[in-house]
Structure 1
């Protein structure tokens, strides 16, 4: 139960909070995640994260705990996908771990290469391509499998700084279809995930609610902030263990028919529009699925009559785009 580290996160408020993680939290996290990923001493794990982010703990401690080698990308390589993949090939890197926006940039740059150049560059030893910390659109792993014909397995992970790191993961099938974000998957060992309504009751299948996390990874709380700790680390309503707690993520999610958890959006991204509750994250995911859209963001804003409207901002690769294209996104 001794403190292992304090790492600061701003969350959605912009005000830094010191998250306290114990040795027990960290040890469980590394063991449970390795049970899923099966890191070996022969692996070379690419480190791309800033040391200020919780993902840097995963990219450093997970491979070292299994006797694997950590290959640290330089700042120049992180800015240049072609230089990065040249290094990956040269150093025989076997595992790459990055946020989806980084994967999206790498994928776009590689897709613009001619087929022969790309094939030479991607003739490497990557066996696992991991993503975490943001929603991942299915188009990215589909491009790697279908267009690039790369054999590496894609795994998308979900976690929180307050739970030591990853709490769920999804093994992406090579033939994944659709244009939506891939699921968050299922919990890793010693982790509980609940999707609850406003009264902390389990939501029915397919109905969105707030995502709560329990288990051995839940941290001690926020440093020198009892009020914030009590607001986010709440009593476990379904446990008989004294002192058991759940962490309220503020994320909105639902359980699909396959038993996979799907990310819907942030609780603070919900808006009421003409009496209906609208998830801005779902709209962004639908728009991002259009091949002409590179990036997008959706906000709710009042017009001059005081009526709330949804406004989408987007960046596109298309020379002549038509708004009617995007109105058909679904």
Structure 2
């Protein structure tokens, strides 16, 4: 999928007011996963510092938890399943938990189960912000934004929120007609963040 520099700038510009400038971001994800684009440029385009997490630390939630403290990481991006493991390490090491500098945790890559965040919210009721973002590679990593609140832990759903400012969502039926609220349809995404097609492909 061909993603332009402009797409990345549009993505980060759309969340500029939501994330701190000059922050310390961790790059936990592989370069082969599109979330790494978000991690790298989220830090570097806003005057921040990027902490590239060694592979050995990526595989150890306990070591990663300690790294977050040592490097004073303030913006963390995680798949929900990886975060649940980190949450366990956080519970098991309360002395380190109190030293975290996190201001925002951004979830992506798979459906979030808010009810599983109950232990984290119990230990960290005021900070960091927990943000669920839905998206695909074709829409330049993220397409929507939803801040998780305490009431969400009682919900069985995975709230994806609203489209980012440079995108629009449409729920359409098989004939590309808008469906009423509550009716099943397919999600279509439009706007300035769409990729330019499969690189090297025909047509």
On whether the aligned pair clears a TM of 0.5, the verdict is yes
Mapping 1:73-92, distance limit 5 Å: 73-92=53-72
Mapped partners of 2:33, 2:153: distance in 1? 31
Mapped partners of 1:108, 1:86: distance in 2? 13
Return the offset for 1:150.
6.4
Structure-2-length-normalised TM-score: 0.92
Mapped partners of 1:82, 1:149: distance in 2? 21
Q: Which runs of 4+ in 1 moved over 3 A?
A: 108-111, 147-150
- Per-residue CA deviation, residues 213-239 of structure 1 (Å, 9 max, x unaligned), is 100001111123346xxxxxxxxxxxx
Aligned partner of 2:27 in structure 1 is 47
For residue 120 of structure 1, the aligned residue among 74, 88, 95 is 95
Aligned partner of 2:105 in structure 1 is 129
Listed as ranges, the gaps of 5+ residues in structure 1 are 1-18, 228-330
Mapping 1:125-204, distance limit 5 Å: 125-147=101-123, 149=125, 151-204=127-180
**Using a 3 Å threshold, how does the CA distance of structure 1 residues 226 and 211 change in structure 2: closer, same or farther?**
farther
Aligned length: 202
Structure-1-length-normalised TM-score: 0.58
SS of aligned partner of 1:21: coil
**Using a 3 Å threshold, how does the CA distance of structure 1 residues 150 and 85 change in structure 2: closer, same or farther?**
farther
Mapped partners of 1:190, 1:127: distance in 2? 24
Listed as ranges, the gaps of 5+ residues in structure 2 are none
SS of aligned partner of 1:106: helix
**Using a 3 Å threshold, how does the CA distance of structure 1 residues 203 and 77 change in structure 2: closer, same or farther?**
same
Q: Is the 8 A contact 1:107 1:140 kept in 2?
A: no
Mapped partners of 1:148, 1:210: distance in 2? 36
**Using a 3 Å threshold, how does the CA distance of structure 1 residues 133 and 71 change in structure 2: closer, same or farther?**
same
| Higher share of residues assigned strand | 1
SS of aligned partner of 2:134: strand
Q: Is the 8 A contact 1:25 1:218 kept in 2?
A: yes
Q: Is the 8 A contact 1:129 1:154 kept in 2?
A: yes
**Using a 3 Å threshold, how does the CA distance of structure 1 residues 119 and 160 change in structure 2: closer, same or farther?**
same
Mapped partners of 1:139, 1:108: distance in 2? 14
SS of aligned partner of 2:178: coil
Return the offset for 1:105.
1.9
SS of aligned partner of 2:7: helix
CA RMSD, aligned part only?
1.7
Mapping 1:51-70, distance limit 5 Å: 51-70=31-50
SS of aligned partner of 2:152: coil
Aligned partner of 2:19 in structure 1 is 38
